[in-house]
Chain A
Amino acid sequence: MKAPKALAVPYVVWVLIFTVIPLGLVVGFAMTDPDGNLTLENIFAMSDYMAVLFRSILFAIIATIICLIIAFPAAYIISRASAINQSTLVVLLMVPMWINFLLRTYAWMTLLEQNGLINKLLGLVGLGPYNLINNSGAVILGMVYNYLPFMILPLYSVMVKIDHSIIEAAQDLGSNKARLVRKVLLPLSMPGISTGVIAVFVPSVSTFIISRMLGGGTNDLIGDIIEMQFSGNSYNPHLGSAMALVLMIIVIFMMSLFNQFGSEEDVPL
């Protein structure tokens, strides 16, 4: 069947207006001052925000690694379950994902705060109260909690295709568990790992709500600083665009590192 190519024309126009031109505008704003003159000042001004940028990347990397460590065994266990258990376990992973991440993050706010439930329970056994919220650990916890399913699901979808006889063959040939993971499971799960890493890293490095809700204003990330340039008191879309440009470059770098420039067959989450 050959449908006329012309059917794609409205979409081509749409993509140009609402995807390509806006990104071009971000680049344009990053390179100009409010009077419209060409300048590199905004880019140079980024040097004042190096600490924030570094913190964002560091937190996102830590969150991604923790997600990978938790997700790998989980995805393997799900992939070896019976077909019916598999579909139930996957659905159970997806239910929290459909609840708005603001509410999920809010749930942790109520658990971690000074007179929250965790401190109260600790108090019953004579411990605490501890400072569980408004620190870097809480922000990373928020990232892990929100984005963990993004790591488990692609890993699972790769692992479920691993023929169990390959695993048995490795065991028959004398592999212990560590060797089985290193020599068989890890190499075969690589496509799932790279998808999962991108799916956790990108939203983590660019978040601005998780850090605001759980970081208490002392753990601002690059997303928070960008947001302030556009809707806060320090309205400066030119500086904000320069920051967004830097963020885009980080994302593109990570994606090229994990070779995620899509084969068109890829159906993302």
Chain B
Amino acid sequence: MKSLSSKIYMYLLYIFLYLPILVLIVFSFNQSKSRANWTGFTFHWYADLFRDERILTALLNTVIVAVCASVFATVLGTMAALGIYSMKKTGRTLLMGATYIPVINPEIIMGISLMILFKFFASHFNLQFGFATLILAHISFDVPYVIYNVLPKLRAMNPNLVEAAQDLGCNPRQAFFKAVIPEIMPGIFSGFLMAMTYSVDDFVVSYFTSGTNVEPLSVTIESMTRVKVSPKINALSAIIFVVICAIMIARNIIENRNLRRDLALSRAARQ
């Protein structure tokens, strides 16, 4: 960032991105319910938040759905990626095209189309709207991200790896679990994390597939913003913001450390 004008531009951009969130957080400590008048410092919205049965249940629901869906999606997606990797071009193109649909399809269409499907299941197979429908829906939009993360790792793998393992006395099963899986593990792991974040963050698909008995956190937040606005939402945002910042800063520090090490190594190599 060389010129002053580009510095100012970037500062303005980041102020635009962060100011609304920071205002939200500041007013989570405000004594009155007002969102413009500062009347004094308090923690009591946080205390209220942790006593709110509905929010805590919703948080638990979100965690249950996200964990179940992303574990299942990781297994299904990794298997799919292995299969796709060994497919011929036509089959591969077709399946990758189908994999692209949930990624690009507007969320609302995914939501209503699954809702129609689940209504059909509900009337014919006695499926209840709730955890089952939520987890099925989440797996459906999670799997593509696992495939997108695992497939490049498979392509980058040395094709002789399995042969080498077998030459060294592995049977095919051992070669697969001892050579292939460790090689693609980073892809599997980042796919799992991505699936998890998408599940936790999802509102639109959950809104249409959750029914009335099981409410995930995002759906609770939406109905809270609809009725009476409570600073409890501000408190919740503040907690989420702090958690995300902590994760991102940790990631950034690790990445920058690696980056600096790589730079130092390449400099040393040049000398």
Contacts and interface: CB of A to CB of B under 8 A. Distances in A.
Interface in B118-139: 120, 136-137, 139
A247 B21 contact: no
Interface size class of B (residues with CB under 8 A): 35 or more
Interface string A8-23: 1111101101111111
Most buried by A among B108, B115, B157, B162: B108
A99 B27 CA distance: 17
Interface string B75-92: 011011011111100011
Interface in A221-245: 223, 226-227, 230-231, 237, 240-241, 244
Contacts of B96: 262, 264
Contact of B24 (A3, A107, A230): A107
B112 interface: yes
A118 B54 CA distance: 32
A96 interface: yes
Contact of A19 (B98, B161, B197): B98
Given A3-B82, A22-B117, A99-B237, A268 B20 contact: no
Contact of A6 (B21, B83, B245): B83
Residue from B85, B104, B176 with most neighbouring chain A CB atoms (10 Å): B104
Given A85-B1, A91-B248, A98 B201 contact: yes
Interface in A155-194: none
A241 B240 contact: no
A77 B98 contact: no
B143 A11 contact: yes
B74 interface: no
A8 B151 CA distance: 13
A38 interface: no
Interface string B128-168: 00000000110110010000110010000101011000000
Interface string B1-43: 1100010011001101110110110010000001111000000
Contact of A5 (B21, B87, B114): B87
Contact of A80 (B1, B114, B143): B1
Contacts of A45: none
Given A87-B252, A237-B116, A12 B100 contact: no
A251 B104 CA distance: 9
Nearest to B72: A14
Given A8-B80, A255-B104, A99 B240 contact: yes
Interface in A1-47: 1-12, 14-15, 17-23, 25-26, 29
A20 B100 contact: no
B221 interface: yes
A69 interface: no
27 contacts: A5-B86, A7-B80, A7-B82, A15-B99, A77-B6, A85-B1, A92-B17, A96-B21, A98-B248, A100-B203, A100-B240, A103-B236, A106-B24, A106-B233, A106-B237, A115-B34, A117-B36, A148-B17, A202-B104, A209-B203, A230-B208, A231-B208, A241-B116, A248-B105, A251-B104, A262-B97, A268-B103
Per CB-CB distance, the 7 closest pairs between chain A and chain B, nearest first, are A8-B83, A206-B106, A11-B80, A22-B113, A107-B20, A7-B83, A3-B82
Interface of B: 1-2, 6, 9-10, 13-14, 16-18, 20-21, 23-24, 27, 34-37, 76-77, 79-80, 82-87, 91-93, 95-110, 112-117, 120, 136-137, 139-140, 143, 148-149, 152, 157, 159, 161-162, 176, 180, 197, 201, 203-204, 207-208, 218, 221-222, 225, 229, 233, 236-237, 240-241, 244-245, 248-249, 251-252, 255-256, 259-260, 263
